[in-house]
Structure formats: structure tokens, C-alpha cells
Homo-oligomer: A and B are copies of this chain.
Amino acid sequence: MYLSKLFIPLLKENPSEAKIKSHQLMLRTGMIKQSSTGIYSWLPLGFKIMKKIEQIVREEQNKIGAQELLMPTIQSAEIWKESGRYDDYGEELLRIKDRQGKEMLYGPTNEELITEIFRASIKSYKSLPQLLYHIQWKFRDELRPRFGVMRCKEFFMKDAYSFDLNDEEAKKSYNKMFFAYLNTFKRLGLTAIPMAADTGPIGGDLSHEFIILADTGESKIYSDKRIFDIDISKHNDADDSIKELREKYDAFYAVTDNKFKKEDFEKKVKKENQLVTKGIEVGHIFYFGDKYSKPLKCSVDLQDGKKVDVKMGSYGIGVSRLVGAIIESKFTNNVMRWPESVAPFEVAIIPSLQKNDKSNYLKAKKIYNLLIKNKIDVLFDDTEDHLSAKFKKFDLIGIPYQIILGSKFTGDKFEFKEINGETETLFLDEIKKKLLNKRN
């Protein structure tokens, strides 16, 4: 892509309404544009990154055997009355009346609807376990939306739901998701720690929040810092291996403020291992048994003819929120570096261009064409900005690698730079190989 063709409205200054760095960066680099309070349009740069995150989330769900479906954004109030949440949910639930006066709502979560789908579809214990998920827009009518996509009204989420015969089986499903989440965040370049959490309005008795460390985090966290050293790559998706992994995590104290008890922390964690800091929630998993299946009468037939309410869990990842969370974690000293797995482009070509001298432009174009031919996704800055202005711009756009053509550039070797890292002088063919290697 030529930068001059890309629909990327860059801002010269940080907009005053943006208080945290992800919000600032996303507005500055034209990733998003607010369309009304707390509601954003995703412009091409931001959209591309969000889609890459979505795809990684999807692949890791599929790997554990979860099946994708899609529930609508607008739901009938009826099933929310069945579960009792219609009145409980509070004003964050966007209630809607259609033209016939029927009570509807914009789904803030989908436990009721998935339970309703399940009860209409599955009748026998033989069809269990089931893991179903969707990736859909949700709405929360926040009174004071803030921090850009981190706390906005319309947001994009992956919600998964598990259906099992009994608690023991359900815990296997829970652990599978636990495993999928660790892998998902790892692929996104994040170290996310599962922390024991309150179950909140969804209810239930087992829950983990997945938290990444960030100064701007809304959650205060208390942990044994050794939990950050657990190596998930030593585990595979067999039930036993996952169980072992969960036990490793459970062995270390790690809670958010809701669950924090000072005396426990002091007793269980040696002074030198205590870590008290802030974090951002990027995922949340719950096990809540028959909390929804019971009022919604979602049961299956057992072998002996009896019926049993299915045991359910729910598992969320904030896909649009992750875009902001990755920035909070990777944007330091005014330089952004997207992880390769979600970077908007694999490499940028940054030439110094002069009106009266086409030589650099032609060389840059040659590099561009070669990379495109090799299916490397490249952004070519063909604008006439000064090289220093270009560097400033690309420090924010955050493409991990750069090929730089300075004003006095000659010869066959090019400056190849990792953003925030080393510069090498390489032949084009070496650059190509390096970029292709970065994919793995």
C-alpha cells in the first residue's frame, strides 16, 4: 500500500479529550474516529489490526474444538425476564422498543440467548460436551465512557459458552478455555496472568480474570511475581497436561482487588516475591453451573431417562479492547511497536524524497514491488514529508520493521531497522529473507 492512498487521517497533536496513551495513539494515527460519545468507527489501520486479533482469537477457540456461530445484536427482552436479569441489570442495558412497542435490548452479553438456542437444539446427554462461541458487537450504555476503546459503549467481543453433564466434566471445559486463553494472549505478544476473581453479575463460583500489567490499568492486582515465569509452551491440550498447568498457576497467589485479603497475601507470599501493581483485564472466564440452565429449563435426557440441567460456563475476550490493551503494553517512550502477529503491515519503506530527484523514489518503488511480489505486506511512504517527520510518524504507526533510504543513499545495501532496535545494512534479498523468517 502507498501511504498517499491509504485512508489514514493522521493528527499532528494529541487530542485533548484523550487521557491515556492508547486513546491518544489510536486517534493520532487515524485508527479510530469517534462517531458519538463512546461509539467509534474503525478506520482502515485500526480495523486491520482488530481483524488480526479477531482471527487469532478464533483460531485458538477452534483448536480446542469450540464451534463458531453468531447471535444477533438485538434480543427480545422475554428471555431476560425468564432468567430474571431484565430488571437486575441496571441502566447499562440499552433497552429498546420496536415500532410495535415490543421490548427489545441490545445484547450486553449472551447467556440467555445461547441457553435458549441450546435447549431448542440438544436433547440427549450423548451430544455433550459442547463448546460454542461467537464474536459479535455488544453494547453497554456507559454513563461516562472514557479511555477510547477501553471503556466504550459499542465493543467487539468473543463470547464462548460451555455445556456439560456435571461439574467434573464442566471443569475440563473450563480448563480447556483457560489453556486457549493463555495461548491466545501469548500469540498476541502479551503476558496475561489468570487471577482469581469475583464472579460479579454473571454469578457462579469459579472465575479468572486474565490481566496484563499496565500502569494505566483499572484493576489493582496483588500477586506472587513468580507466576509470570510459568512456561505454557511445555503443556499441550491433553486434559492432564492442561490440569497440571492450571495447578501451576493455582500454586501462586494472584488476585484482583475484589478478592484481595491482606492477611492472605502476607502469609502466602514472601516479601521479595510480592508484586502490587495495576493491570488491564483482557479476558474473563466463569463457571456458573446451572445458574441459567435452571430458570431457562435447559436440560438433557440421561441414559436412565431422567433429565438433568446442563452445567454451563462463559468465557469472554474483549477483541476491540485488546487493541487498546496492546498499545498500553507496547507503546513506551513515545514509540509504538506492534507485535508481528497483529502489526498493520510487516514492514515500512521510508525514503527521503525530493521533488527534483526521482532516484530514491524509483529505488523505493523497486523494493516495494519486490516485496509485494513475495506477498510481504508493506507500507511505502511516498509522501514528500521530511525524513525526520516520517520517522516521527512511523514511531506512532508502529510497524515493527523499516527499510530506510536516506538522502545521500547509494549502492545496493539498505538500512533495515527494527523499530526501537538495531539498524543493519543489508542486501534486499537478505531483507526479504529476514522478513519472511519473522513470520514464524
Interface residues of A (CB under 8 A from B): 4-7, 9, 30, 33, 35-37, 39-44, 47-48, 50, 65, 67-76, 78, 91-92, 94, 96, 98-100, 102, 104, 106, 113, 116-117, 120-122, 126-127, 130, 132, 137, 139, 141, 143, 153-154
**Least Cβ–Cβ distance between A115 and chain B, in angstroms:** 12
Question: Roughly how many angstroms separate A98 CA and B91 CA in the complex, as a whole number?
Answer: 9
A-B pairs with lowest CB-CB distance, top 10: A9-B121, A36-B76, A42-B70, A41-B71, A91-B99, A44-B67, A72-B154, A39-B72, A99-B141, A7-B67
Interface residues of chain A: helix, strand, loop or mixed (majority): mixed
A117 touches B72 (CB 8 A): no
Chain B residue nearest in CB terms to A42: B70
Q: Can you list 8 A-B contacts (CB < 8 A)?
A: A5-B65, A35-B116, A36-B78, A40-B72, A44-B69, A74-B139, A74-B154, A94-B98
A143 touches B99 (CB 8 A): yes
A7 touches B141 (CB 8 A): no
**Least Cβ–Cβ distance between A311 and chain B, in angstroms:** 17
A120 touches B71 (CB 8 A): no
B35 touches A69 (CB 8 A): no
Task: Give the number of copies in the complex.
Answer: 2
B30 touches A42 (CB 8 A): no
A36 touches B104 (CB 8 A): yes
Question: Roughly how many angstroms separate A74 CA and B96 CA in the complex, as a whole number?
Answer: 12
**Least Cβ–Cβ distance between A393 and chain B, in angstroms:** 16
B9 touches A74 (CB 8 A): no
Contacts of A37 in B (CB 8 A): 102
Known: A35-B116, A67-B6. A73 touches B141 (CB 8 A): no
Question: Roughly how many angstroms separate A127 CA and B3 CA in the complex, as a whole number?
Answer: 11
Chain B residue nearest in CB terms to A39: B72
Contacts of A5 in B (CB 8 A): 65
Known: A96-B94, A104-B36. A120 touches B9 (CB 8 A): yes
Which one of B36, B121, B127 contacts A75 once the chains associate, using CB atoms below 8 Å?
B36
The residue in A41, A47, A50 that gathers the most chain B C-beta atoms within 10 A of its C-beta is A41
Besides A33-B117, A73-B73, 8 other CB < 8 A contacts?
A7-B121, A7-B122, A41-B69, A41-B71, A47-B68, A94-B96, A96-B96, A99-B143
